[in-house]
Amino acid sequence: MRPAFKILYHLENGTHHILEIKRTDLNATADLSDVYKWLYIDKGSLMINQLWFKSMDSSGHIEERFFEQGYLKFNSKEGTFIEKFNSAQHQLINKSSENTSPELTDAIEEYLAGS
């Protein structure tokens, strides 16, 4: 059985996707870190790395997420991800309201099945 999930947030640029997903196939007692995951995905290879969530802040129309690997700030239209280790900044477009490609969905399912 393939893992089931829902995409809560989807930001992307020409080279990467950043998504928050919610597993919908886990029982109610599952740990929140297993239910909710942030994924950093290379568009070319569809290689997935998990972003290790530390904390969040929501104020008005701005969302902020802090990870071991960096910082994400976004609104309903755009966002910026700043990598911690090399200080690279990635400008992103918020695609949360759009359908996800079958290739991306398959890659996420395969990643979840292996983790």
Number of domains, the chain: 1
Ranges of H-type helices in the chain: 32-35, 102-114
> Starting from the edge strand earliest in sequence, which strands make up the sheet with 36-42, in order?
48-51, 36-42, 16-23, 5-12, 89-94, 78-83, 70-74, 62-67, 53-59
CA distance 113 to 72: 26
Task: Determine the length of the chain.
Answer: 115
The one-character DSSP state at 97 is: T
pLDDT at position 79, please? 98
pLDDT at position 14, please? 96
Ranges of H-type helices in 26-101: 32-35
pLDDT by residue, tens only, the chain of 115 residues: 789 999 999 999 999 999 999 999 999 999 999 999 999 999 999 999 999 999 999 988 999 999 999 999 999 999 999 999 888 899 999 999 999 999 999 999 999 998 7
Summarised one tens digit per residue, pLDDT across range 20-46 is 999 999 999 999 999 999 999 999 999
pLDDT at position 1, please? 72
DSSP count for the chain of H helices, then E strands: 2, 9
Q: Which domain holds residue 39?
A: 5-114
